[in-house]
Amino acid sequence: MNILALNCGSSSIKYKVFNWERKESLGFGSVERIGIMGSFIRHERPGREPHIVNHDCPNHETAIKILTNTLLDPNVGIIKDISEINAVGHRVVHGGEKFKSSVKIDAEVLDAIKAVQDLAPLHNPPNIAGIEAAQHLLPNVPQIAVFDTAFHQTMPEHAYLYAVPYEWYGMYGVRRYGFHGTSHLYVSRRAAVLLGKNPIDTNLITMHIGNGASVCAVKHGQSVDTSMGLTPLEGAVMGTRSGDLDPAIILFMIEKEGFYAEQIDTILNKKSGLLGITGKYMDRRDIDKAAQEGDQRCKLAVEIEAYRLKKYIGSYYAALGKVDALVFTAGAGELNWQLRENVLTGLEDLGIKFDKIKNQMAISRDKETDISAGDSRIKIFVIPTDEERVFIEDVVAILEGKYETHTRFTYSFEDPGYKRKLA
Catalytic residues: 148
SS (H, E, C) the chain: CEEEEEEECCCEEEEEEEECCCCEEEEEEEEECCCCCCCEEEEECCCCCCEEEECCCCCHHHHHHHHHHHHHCCCCCCCCCHHHCCEEEEEECCCCCCCCCCEECCHHHHHHHHHCHHHCCCCHHHHHHHHHHHHHHCCCCCEEEEECCHHHHHCCHHHHCCCCCCHHHHHHCCCCCCCCHHHHHHHHHHHHHHHCCCHHHCCEEEEEECCCEEEEEEECCEEEEECCCCCCCCCCCCCCCCCCCCCHHHHHHHHHHCCCHHHHHHHHHHCCHHHHHHCCCCCHHHHHHHHHCCCHHHHHHHHHHHHHHHHHHHHHHHHHCCCCEEEEEHHHHHHCHHHHHHHHCCCHHHCCCECHHHHHHCCCCCCCEECECCCCCCEEEECCCCHHHHHHHHHHHHHCCCCCCHHHCCCHHHCCCCCCCCC
Amino acid at 372: S
Q: How far is it, in rounded angstroms, from Cα 262 to Cα 282?
A: 21
Distance CA 176, CA 153 (A): 10
- Say if residues 284 and 336 touch (Cβ distance below 8 Å): yes
User: What's the CA gap between 273 and 283, in Å, rounded?
Assistant: 11
